Amino acid sequence: MTCDDIKARLTPFLDDLLIEAEYKAYCDHLNACEQCREHVRSIGSLSNQLWKLGKVRVPEDFGSTILYKFSHFEQMIQSSRVILSAKHVMIGLTLMLLGITASSAIHYFRNRQPPPKEEDVPIVRAQIVGPRHPPSDEEARILMRQLEVIAAGVGMLSKVMSVEGTPQETAAKENITDEGIPMEKESPVQENEIIDFQVIPLHWHFQYPEETNEAALDAKRQRIKQQKELAQTKLDEIESTIRLLEEEKEKNQIKLGQPYSQELKETKLARERQIELGLQQWAEGIRQQNAVIGQLEESNRQLEFNRQERLKEGKQKETAHRTKISNILNISGIMPDYKNDHLFVFSSSGEKLKDVRDQILFASQGTSSFHDYANGEAVLPDREYRISMFFDDKGNSSFHWHINAIRPEQKSNLLRLIEEKSASIDYKSEELLIFSVPNTELQKLLIRIQAAGVHILRYGSQEIKKDISQSRLISISVYFAK
Amino acid sequence: MMKEERIKFLISRYQQGVFALVLYLIGGDQDKTYDICASSFAEAMRACSSPEREGIFLAKVIGIAVEKARAIKTIPVFKELEFLDLPASEQGPLRLLIKAFWKLAFDDKALVLLREQLNLSYRQIAAVMRKTESDTRSEVNQARTRLREIIEDTLKYE
């Protein structure tokens, strides 16, 4: 590997994407070349310090300014709405007045009666000054009609006035989950929905980096395949040339008993020598092409081997990380309720949880990225929490669903449905259910559950990746709120 | 409307990240950063009714802040790194990094910062930048590569 190669492959080297042989060659060169070593170190260390850019000093009054702006902004919005929507208000009022006038006119013409007689007047007066009598059916109908007209006017007005819609409407329009991620079409999140969990569920996701770069590997495989095809084509060409030469050689042979002239004999012998030479050269060509094909096949094997090795290394790192976390839980006196290769479920008080979280974060540095869903940092010391820790890699996806308060018969129906579709139920308690379902069955299951009128809030990986096996099992944990 | 306690908690949790994001996006102008961040937080709070939906809140704050920063045309002026909350000994090497960083295109800067500094997932970045997840993934990698190339060039002339 030359100094130019070192510069050209700097990015894959820093991103740890080189295959084992390249990586070794790269390191060998770095060990030998002081200049390259310094170059790689300076760039690598600089680009790995990006996180330090986040350590900026925020002015102390920043928080109070936001709060001021927020309250001031509300007032401004309200006043600007009043000013900006004056036109809309006018339209609304006109509509309302028109409605009221129209309905009053109809009322007047329908119920026009002769003027009251003289003797009726005191009774009418008494009715006016006395307590109000309940309206007659006809009066109530008219009143309702008037109210409907007014309400329609107000409704139109409010639609005109609310340019952006309520925040809930906006969120629903954008289809954003609690993780701030747009999600595919699913049962809508109910507005102002409050889930009352006796034990508050939290979700922590650990995502391991991919140990192999499949795209780069595919490109290499493709390149090797093309080279192999090229070599095979050359080999075929050589073989056909050899066949032609052999045919010519046979024709060119001096046959016994034939009256050849001396000149012809010499020409034939000269040609035979040429053919022999050609055959030898082409035979060498065949050996070379076979060697090339062999090397390419070996590279392919090496590529696959390296991939497997890297995957194995990655798995070992993941296993070591999970063991560390398991040890932290054990030392803290927390026994997992449920544990498999991709999921730990445990319960803890908020007080203990904070310590455990810090320790786990420390132990995870450099191994995996940590995602804390559902306000894990805002734990209250006096509450009970149930934590699901998902260990996600490329080969594994975990979802978690929250199901709000449902009737017991609905719950039993739901469980039956899940049992029908799922391959196995891993854990089952009053509040938590963990099951695995084949990738192919998941969408069908979701449709059936939604058709049964059960409302699910979905978290975690939302879509099934196309590049993963359709038959792979997906682990889903369901929380039932009471 | 969000509760005041919750607002304070969200501000304290995300103020540094968002402040740094805008600061580097617009080239180190602290006054403009201050204004953009404060109004982004205020607008996002107004838009988020439920204090529990922290993800939505964060996505909104960042989305608003990025759009506001994009609208501002500033020329990066390399001053003293007074805004960095790091000891002076650590600021030296970062000077070069920041210099290189400001040469990146706006979207590249945003992608790298969202990923490396705010540690958002690719899905969250995709939501903020209004791109697909796979595009985001490759564009973040391309942005990182470009940054390294710029660092490399900068080192040559330093």
Q: What is the pLDDT of residues A217-264, one digit of tens each?
A: 888 888 888 888 888 888 888 988 898 888 888 888 777 777 778 888
**Do residues A256 and A392 share a domain?**
no
Contact A192 B37 (CB under 8 A): no
Question: Which residues does residue B114 pair with via DSSP β-bridges, in sequence order?
Answer: none
State the distance between the two ends of chain B, measured CA to CA, in whole angstroms: 52
Contact A49 B94 (CB under 8 A): yes
Residue B150 has pLDDT above 60, yes or no: yes
Cα separations in angstroms, B72 against A182, B43, B101, B117: 27, 18, 17, 22
Report residues of chain A scoring pLDDT below 70: 15-16, 44-48, 72-90, 92, 107-199, 210-212, 373-378, 393-399, 404-405, 422-423, 459-473, 481-482
Distance of CA A202 to the CA centre of its chain: 19
d(CA A95, CA A288): 92
Residues of A in contact with B57 (CB under 8 A): 180
Better-predicted residue by pLDDT, A253 or B41: B41
**Do residues A394 and A459 share a domain?**
yes
| Residue in A390, A476, A391, A389 with CA at minimum distance from that of residue A432 | A476
Residue B119 touches chain A, beta carbons under 8 Å? yes
Single-letter residue type at A56: V
**pLDDT confidence of residue B33:** 86
**Do residues A267 and A335 share a domain?**
no
- Averaged pLDDT score across all residues of chain B: 81
Q: Confirm whether A180 is domain-assigned.
A: no
DSSP state of B115: I
3-class SS shares of chain B: helix, strand, coil, % to 5: 75, 0, 25
Token pair, residue A156, equals: 């139109």
Domain boundary among A315, A344, A364: A315
**Do residues A284 and A146 share a domain?**
no
**Do residues A120 and A252 share a domain?**
no
Contact A73 B43 (CB under 8 A): yes
Neighbouring CB atoms inside 10 A of A76's CB total 11
* Pairing label, strands A398-403, A456-460: antiparallel
**Do residues A324 and A440 share a domain?**
yes
| Residue in A67, A132, A310 with CA at minimum distance from that of residue A209 | A310
d(CA A17, CA A294): 25
Closest chain A residue by Cα to residue B123: A181
Angstroms from A50 CA to nearest CA on chain B: 7
What are the counts of helices (DSSP H) followed by strands (DSSP E) for chain B? 7, 0
Angstroms from B158 CA to nearest CA on chain A: 12
Torsion angle (degrees, nearest 10) of CA B68, B72, B74, B79? -30
Q: Domain limits at A345?
A: 200-210+318-480
Residue B105 touches chain A, beta carbons under 8 Å? no
Boundaries of every domain in chain B:
4-157
pLDDT digits (tens, 9 = 90+) for B21-33: 888 888 877 788 8
How many CA atoms are closer than 13 Å to the CA of B62, on its beta-carbon side? Answer: 30
Q: Confirm whether A469 is domain-assigned.
A: yes
**Do residues A418 and A344 share a domain?**
yes
Residues of A in contact with B113 (CB under 8 A): 50, 53
Is B125 within 8 Å of B58 (Cβ atoms)?
A: no
Closest chain B residue by Cα to residue A39: B152
Rg (CA), chain A: 40
Residues of A in contact with B50 (CB under 8 A): 167-168, 192
Contact A369 B113 (CB under 8 A): no
**Do residues A257 and A349 share a domain?**
no
Is A157 within 8 Å of A92 (Cβ atoms)?
A: yes
Q: Could you give the number of structural domains in chain A?
A: 4
Confidence of residue B51 (pLDDT cuts 50, 70, 90): low
Token pair, residue B133, equals: 């997840």
**Do residues A393 and A448 share a domain?**
yes
A477 φψ region: left (φ > 0), alpha (ψ -120 to 50), beta (else) = beta
Q: Please give the backbone phi and psi of residue A383, each rounded to the nearest 5 degrees, phi first.
A: -105, 160
Single-letter residue type at A195: I
**Do residues A113 and A45 share a domain?**
no
**pLDDT confidence of residue A212:** 65
Q: Confirm whether A257 is domain-assigned.
A: yes
**Do residues A155 and A105 share a domain?**
yes
Contact A176 B56 (CB under 8 A): yes
For the residues of A362-398, what is the DSSP string, one character each? HHHTTT-EEEEES-GGG--TTSEEEEEEEEE-TT--E
**Do residues A374 and A421 share a domain?**
yes
Closest partner CB to A63 (pick from B8, B43, B84): B8
Angstroms from B93 CA to nearest CA on chain A: 7
Interface of B with A in 129-158 (CB under 8 A): 141, 144-145, 147-148, 151-152, 155
Domain B4-157, what fold?
Butyryl-CoA Dehydrogenase, subunit A; domain 3 (1.20.140)
Is B74 within 8 Å of B29 (Cβ atoms)?
A: yes
Q: If residue A453 lies in a helix (H) or strand (E), which one and from where to where?
A: none
**pLDDT confidence of residue A348:** 86
**pLDDT confidence of residue A121:** 37
Helices (H), A85-208: 86-110, 121-129, 137-161, 167-174
User: ∠ CA(B151), CA(B153), CA(B154), 5° rounding?
Assistant: 60
**pLDDT confidence of residue B16:** 86
**pLDDT confidence of residue A88:** 63
Closest partner CB to B46 (pick from A45, A74, A371): A74
d(CA A226, CA A223): 5
Single-letter residue type at A348: S
